[in-house]
Structure formats: C-alpha cells, structure tokens
Amino acid sequence: MESDLSGVPVLLVNPRMPLSTGPVFKGWDGRDRGALISGTAREIALAGRNDLEAPAIALCPAIADVLAVLAETGPLLSRMSGSGATCFALYEHADDQAAAMAHLTSDHTGWWEMSGNLR
C-alpha cells in the first residue's frame, strides 16, 4: 500500500549543534502518552508528537529556533526528527518548500538544510 505522503516535499534543517541521544532519553519524563491514532500516514503524522522534543530543546535550545522558523514558512507539518537536533517540515507544494529553503539559506546561513520529497 502506498503512503498518502509519498512525493510530499520535505525540508530537513539542523542548527549544527551537537546533541547526543543518551542525554535526551535521560531527560525524557518516561510518561506513556498512549498510542498514535489509526488512519492514513498523513492523519497519523498530523496527530502525532515527539515526546523527546522537550528534553532535546532543554539540552539544545537552537532546536526551538529551528522549529519556530519552520513554522513561519507555512508547512503542512513541522517537527523535530527522532532525538534531535534535525527538524523537518512537510509542504503541500514544491513552491512552498522552495520559498522556505530560500528563506532559510539567506537568513540562517549557519544551519544545514536539505530538501527533497518523501518516498
């Protein structure tokens, strides 16, 4: 079965700040927030969460800056990936992704960025 997010434009951004997985998990509160919803990949992603975001931001505040900038670009969804520090944004249209990438490369020259499409 093909994902309903196949082909969706994605932008990856990392603030180029080191962040080790171990300390992030150590900072996690361990609370079970329940299972994700059932549905399409898009529905699950939109309703999802990253329980490691708060402890990762506590260790690397630049993640919050990346997420704030990504949110300003009008994505379908933006979130931290895994245990950080890379974040991602999904876009409905390639033009929106390209505009976001142009904004990032001109205003945040120290960050690493990569664009593509989900498989």
pLDDT in tens, 73-82: 999 999 999 9
- The confidence score (pLDDT) of residue 30 equals 93
Distance from C-alpha of 106 to C-alpha of 102, rounded to nearest angstrom: 6
**6: confidence class by pLDDT, cuts 50, 70, 90:** very high
Chain segment 87-97, per-residue pLDDT in tens: 999 999 999 99
- The confidence score (pLDDT) of residue 2 equals 72
Q: Is residue 32 pLDDT above 60, yes or no? A: yes
What is the average pLDDT across 29-37?
92
Q: What is the pTM of this model?
A: 0.92
- The confidence score (pLDDT) of residue 111 equals 96
- The residues, ordered by sequence, that sit 6+ positions from 56 with a Cβ below 8 Å of its Cβ are 19, 24, 27, 63, 80, 83, 84, 85
Q: Is residue 37 pLDDT above 70, yes or no? A: yes
Q: Is residue 1 pLDDT above 70, yes or no? A: no
Token pair of 108 as six digits? 């945040």
User: Which domains does the chain show, CATH number per domain?
Assistant: 9-117 (3.30.70.890)
Q: Is residue 4 pLDDT above 70, yes or no? A: yes
Mean per-residue pLDDT over the chain, rounded: 95
